[in-house]
Chain A
């Protein structure tokens, strides 16, 4: 009861609309299936029962949660590596003219190449184990981290830097106490974009060659003619991505309280 009272009208309204839209989609889905009667277009009930079943009985080596766990752990490795390297390079590019002149052109050229284009090279370089997957996720997340950290560092208010210097801050202190904190909101939006990129990259990698993971569920579904399983794979990807993005936003609101105008 307390929770409901805490939600304001707008939030409650959004939830209601969300429920309505999901119901509408499922009804629409059911209607189409009844009209078409195609074998490879299962009704929502079948997909839902497959979804529940996959929580308990394993597909291949793991249950649904096990596969998602595999995908998540791959994302974690590539994502963290990309965060460390991307944010540092981005900050330096924004802060130092020399670094910018050196790295920006290369970065601008690499940026438009989608992670999937790296798949053949990654297999050639790293074989078929976990390493090429880490690499692809890294590539997917790296550009978002770098670009956002760079933009944040470039956008730092010059007047704030002046103000810090007038108050007696040294160059090092200006970087630590002004440049870094003022880039945090932008870096956070980098975390968001990088996360969805990384999540996309892991699925690409798993669909090419793997024996577990959310992407593998989809491919296995296709190979064994189990369409509900394919859709279960897709839905679980959607739900996981949504949960990740939402928790990231909650974290951001906590950590960057100063940037958010509260009620």
Chain B
């Protein structure tokens, strides 16, 4: 299953999957007022096939909104977002989301959650059952197929979230601070795990985080965002070999460079 994609990936490295064209988003201050405030300002970016792109920035302002716009769950005030050249107008299975709040269906088992997408889309069970098993195994949850989410730890739940997104075979994976709710130790472990999973099953990923270590550890490319309104400040290509080390001098050098560019004022 995994080989098919990787061979195809080699010669199509430059294929553009997601294009954001001058995206801005405004919200009204409250229901009565026509006054608005800008959360996203003029973001244009391209995401290439099998690229791990990290949207990194401080604060809570517009990163999740940006990801929701790409997902189709929210719409931009101005600007457009395209998926493989096609305008995104609503939610759809070609973009898989991994949520910060994890958002598993609590009444479904691990297996039920992972195969939710292909099942809802009407594929034959013999096709997706095997695939679901493969991804459950890939995220390290073999043996938990029939367990309900309430019995799993936070880290395990998010593994299910990742497997669920993968199993639906999306063109791009959107990860919205997926490890934001985990404790520090589990977070490191999950970063490492996601790095491994992604190496084995390369996909196009847009990953949102406010954690600089996480960004450098995972990214092919980091888009540094300014807060309120969210806009692009800088871009960094991260060419470090994988798996990366958090204390590698090269790693620390990049970390310092990005930290300085952030000139954190919060």
Seen from chain A, the residues whose Cβ lies within 8 Å of a Cβ on chain B are: 157, 159-160, 162-170, 173, 177-178, 181-182, 184, 256-262
Contacts and interface: CB of A to CB of B under 8 A. Distances in A.
A162 to B, nearest CB: 5
B75 to A, nearest CB: 14
Contacts of A260: 150
B86 interface: no
Which of A166, A256, A258 gathers most chain B CB within 10 Å? A166
Nearest to B174: A166
Interface string B98-124: 010101011110000000110011000
Contact of B92 (A168, A181, A258): A168
Contacts of B134: none
Contacts of B72: 166
Interface bracket on B: 20 to 34
Given A163-B97, A166-B93, A182-B107, 10 more contacts: A162-B97, A164-B116, A167-B93, A167-B116, A167-B117, A168-B93, A169-B120, A177-B116, A181-B107, A182-B106
B120 A163 contact: no
Interface in B63-103: 71-73, 90-93, 95-97, 99, 101, 103
B180 to A, nearest CB: 14
A163 B99 CA distance: 9
Given A159-B103, A181-B107, A257 B148 contact: yes
Contacts of B92: 165-166, 168
Contacts of B73: 162, 165-166
Contact of A168 (B101, B105, B120, B148): B120
Contacts of A181: 105, 107
B120 A159 contact: no
A157 B150 contact: no
Nearest to B106: A258
B211 to A, nearest CB: 22
Contacts of B105: 160, 163-164, 177-178, 181
B4 interface: no
A257 B150 CA distance: 10
Nearest to B147: A258
A interface secondary structure, majority: helix
Contacts of A169: 116, 120
A157 B116 CA distance: 17
Given A168-B92, A173-B120, A163 B148 contact: no
B19 interface: no
B6 to A, nearest CB: 24
Contact of B103 (A163, A173, A177, A184): A163
Given A160-B105, A162-B73, A165-B91, A261 B116 contact: no
B97 A177 contact: no
Contact of A166 (B95, B107, B148): B95
Contacts of B99: 159, 163
23 contacts: A159-B101, A159-B103, A160-B103, A162-B73, A162-B103, A163-B99, A163-B103, A164-B105, A164-B120, A166-B91, A166-B92, A166-B93, A166-B95, A167-B93, A168-B168, A169-B116, A169-B120, A173-B120, A181-B107, A256-B107, A258-B148, A259-B107, A259-B150
A178 B116 CA distance: 11
B126 interface: no
A260 B148 CA distance: 10
B151 A261 contact: yes
A163 B72 CA distance: 11
A162 B92 CA distance: 10
B97 A184 contact: no
B231 interface: no
Contacts of A157: 103
A172 to B, nearest CB: 10
Contacts of A159: 99, 101, 103
Contacts of A160: 103, 105
Contact of A167 (B106, B151, B168): B168
Contacts of A166: 71-73, 91-93, 95-97
B164 interface: yes
Nearest to B95: A166
Contacts of A184: 107
Q: Which 6 A-B pairs have the closest CB atoms?
A: A168-B93, A167-B117, A165-B91, A258-B148, A181-B107, A168-B121
Nearest to A261: B150
A177 B105 CA distance: 9
Contacts of A168: 92-93, 117, 120-121, 168
Contacts of B93: 166-168
B73 to A, nearest CB: 5
A128 B161 CA distance: 59
A262 to B, nearest CB: 7
